[in-house]
Amino acid sequence: METIIEVRDLAKIFHSRGRKIVAVEHVSFDVRKGEIFGMIGPNGAGKSTTFSMLTTLIKPTSGSIKVAGFDVNKEDDKIRPIIGIVPQKLSLYSDLTARENLEFMGKLYNVPTNLMDERIDYYLKLVGLENHADRFTGGFSGGMKQRLSVICAVLHEPQIIFWDEPSTGLDPQTRQAIWKLAKKFNGEGKTLIFTTHYMEEADNLCDRVAVMNLGKMVALDTPANLKEISGSSNLEEVFMHLTGEEVRD
């Protein structure tokens, strides 16, 4: 299968109050085109930092990342138009309507004017928000905001969707709806990369799962293989086996 993301010997070091903090250390992996790739790990494992480097939000200290053949350090302007990012902290404008939020994002991503209304109507209907298009998003529930945030990220029809904690804080019905959306986008040929703390989510959705711990990648395989290799009955047991039982702050 064709590789769409290549990560080689990636590292990120932060300096704070005279301290050196190694957030990511010697991480290498590939993401295959058209797969759903999950990243799991305890708090402070380095997955969010890795996620931010993959999406051009922060620069690596060393190592390399190529997204669709483009170098993150030199060609980030070519990467941003072909990726969509659904952040954990939703970035909607509460004093704009759902439609206005989408129009704003569409303009940022240079969605052609003649296609804008058609795409907005399609995606609003896709997530069941067509009857709320002209409501201010400040009055939306958490689930409604999450669904709107998702379609803000895909309005320009990116090749790759980065999704940070897709179903945190959502009720079971909304979580199932989010999972269906992820599978639909993947079925259309899009590559999905997401972080999650829900082992059930990683098990149900991911073709492969990367387990991170203390800044390093400690395992990468299919959920089925990870369970078989560790002799575990579920992914949470695998997770605890690989990362330990210590609570992370």
**How far is it, in rounded angstroms, from Cα 27 to Cα 134?**
45
Model confidence at 134, in pLDDT bands (50, 70, 90)? very high
Run of H or E including 237: helix 235-243
pLDDT at residue 18 above 90? no
Residue with tokens 């399609």: 122
Model confidence at 180, in pLDDT bands (50, 70, 90)? very high
Run of H or E including 134: none
140-171 residue pLDDT tens:
998 999 999 999 999 999 999 999 988 887 88
Please work out, in degrees rounded to the nearest 5, the angle formed at the alpha carbon of residue 225 by the alpha carbons of 24 and 85: 45
Residue 210 Cα distances to 47, 52, 102, 170, 218, angstroms: 9, 16, 32, 23, 8
Q: What is the CATH number of domain 3-243?
A: 3.40.50.300
**How far is it, in rounded angstroms, from Cα 218 to Cα 216?**
6
pLDDT above 90: percentage of residues in the chain: 84
Model confidence at 248, in pLDDT bands (50, 70, 90)? low
92-119 residue pLDDT tens:
999 999 999 999 999 999 999 999 999 9
What is the residue-averaged pLDDT of the chain?
Answer: 94
**How far is it, in rounded angstroms, from Cα 227 to Cα 146?**
31
pTM for this prediction: 0.93
From first CA to last CA, the distance across the chain in angstroms is 38
**How far is it, in rounded angstroms, from Cα 225 to Cα 95?**
47
As a whole number, mean pLDDT of residues 212-227 equals 96
